[in-house]
Amino acid sequence: MFQDRFKNKIAIVTGAAQGIGRGVAERIAKEGAKTVLVDRSDVVLEVAESLKKAGYDVLAIQADLETLAGFNKMSDRVIQTFGKIDILINNVGGTIWAKPFQHYEEEEIMKEINRSLFPTLWGCRSVLPHMISNGGGVIVNVSSVATRSVNRVPYAAAKGGVNAITASLAFEQAPNHVRILGVAPGGTEAPQRIIPRNENPQTDEERMWYQQIVDQTMESSLQKKYGTIEDQVSTILFAASDEAKYITGVTIPVAGGDLG
């Protein structure tokens, strides 16, 4: 851990209640940032409280980030509380269903896009004016190597969009001293989710389709294994830090050699 690497920085981490988002929020707070943990689950309040008790400067906000209004409301509160936004980690997203594309219903496709594309799009739109007026900032968009994958085409489309946002915005915002990077996790070992993305139990067929994802992920990785949450957290925080100040407009795969 790099002590005080983010001292005097105001950092927003979305999807901070569990998984990679929680790991990022905990690490960046411990490395000196005043950290805003955002999630629509009230679990985020418990995560923030544990960090406060340990002496870290954090703020928890429950918000629906699938709308610009929801993101703007959260960003405005951060500005009112801390006066600026230096870092945004756009982490909200994740596969809801896993099945061949011909089995997706229209509503399911829309929900996948709303979950894994729009929070990043709205997040960038919401914080950019604040970063520009403050003289710069960093946005790290959490993507996925599942842009080349089986049984999750809508999710792949959403994360492909995240990669395009990252590349295009970096071109556009470099004159404003705003760096935009992506980090694309591969298969990552994580504790069982407190709140599942899909609340309905899997059928036997759905379990088979999900196993095909696991098998393909292992096969695509040169290291033939899943990574850890810490593998993802370390890369995301590197991207957000001044150590990466000469890197922008790229998405870094963290997937054991799978380039997505």
Active site residues: 155
Helices 118-133 & 106-116 angle (0-180, nearest 10): 30
Dist CA 103 CA 148 (whole Å): 18
Dist CA 52 CA 29 (whole Å): 10
Alpha helix positions (H), the chain: 19-30, 43-53, 68-82, 106-116, 118-133, 153-173, 204-220, 229-240
Dist CA 59 CA 79 (whole Å): 12
Dist CA 211 CA 198 (whole Å): 16
What angle is formed at CA 79 by the lines to CA 122 and CA 7, rounded to 5 degrees?
Answer: 100
Dist CA 121 CA 113 (whole Å): 11
State the DSSP code for 145: G
